[in-house]
A = this chain, B = another copy of it.
């Protein structure tokens, strides 16, 4: 029934790869809005090396431990905690939402310092990954250090201020599992590094998305132990099970057709991550300004609304529906 759909999807994956670079474009200087607009038009990622320093983002000079602790003061921050650093990910066939704890920044930095000299750690992994626009809320005191609008070349091309801006703070064991966002994304590393594994929207077919039961993790600080509980009433959601670092091609054979792009951002680098690109994120830690302080991975991102006109949204919908058909899954919107 779906042989035609499968052939079309496989050919799409290959034809896209034939006409597009196998690496992420890199710029050594901040582009003009017009030059940047070509990447947006093509829905292609680009790294702009040291764009944060070139555009004088104050965070890169200001964000010492002392400054951050002083600015955030006694504020209790929401921090995810997981056994191994994989929040919002598939664990043993279940999608597990991480436990959340409240702590002050000084306490979080202490947690990060505790693991910084251990080559192998089994301690709980703490990660600020609220991604709900925390720069307008918990981290409002840091807003002037990074700006609400993101870099001006992006603001001008997207035409509107970002819908959401977030701060991310964690250690080297945190990973973000493969997913996509319906946003145009500008990502800047302020401390440490972030390594992105990127796949274009055309490769949705290669990722074996399927439904998983939803569970929530709870954390008992007194024993540092975790409990995973299925959500009741049972809830399920679509997620991607592939781990790009160690793909299981026996279970996920279509991933062999994918051509992941990898790029590492260092302090001050910015990445344009186009809407609907799949991304998996690893990070490593670095000192703050002046080469001192807690080794941490700190980043900021600005999410701009994606455009739903043009071809991207409608054609991605077709890719998704054909992939569902190949897998014998119902369309989730009930339309035909």
Contact = CB atoms under 8 A, between A and B. Distances in A.
Contacts of A92: none
Interface in A22-74: 33-34, 37-38, 40-44
Contacts of A156: 34
A319 B5 CA distance: 11
A309 B15 CA distance: 10
A325 interface: yes
A178 to B, nearest CB: 20
A35 to B, nearest CB: 9
Interface stretch (A209-217, A227-235, A310-318): A310-318
Contact of A15 (B15, B33, B317): B317
A23 to B, nearest CB: 13
Interface size class of A (residues with CB under 8 A): 35 or more
B11 A318 contact: yes
A332 to B, nearest CB: 13
A314 B201 CA distance: 11
A3 interface: yes
A313 to B, nearest CB: 6
Nearest to A17: B314
Contacts of A321: 7-8, 11
A8 B318 contact: yes
Interface string A173-210: 00000000000000000000000000011100000000
Interface in A265-282: none
Contacts of A335: 11
Interface in A289-327: 307-315, 317-319, 321-322, 325
Interface string A149-190: 000000011010000000000000000000000000000000
A317 B12 contact: yes
Given A11-B321, A311-B312, 17 more contacts: A1-B4, A2-B4, A5-B8, A5-B322, A7-B336, A11-B317, A11-B318, A11-B336, A15-B313, A15-B318, A19-B313, A34-B37, A44-B309, A44-B310, A202-B315, A318-B318, A318-B319
16 contacts: A1-B1, A7-B325, A8-B321, A12-B317, A19-B309, A34-B37, A37-B38, A37-B157, A38-B159, A41-B41, A41-B307, A201-B311, A202-B314, A202-B315, A311-B315, A315-B319
A223 interface: no
B15 A314 contact: yes
A222 interface: no
A33 to B, nearest CB: 5
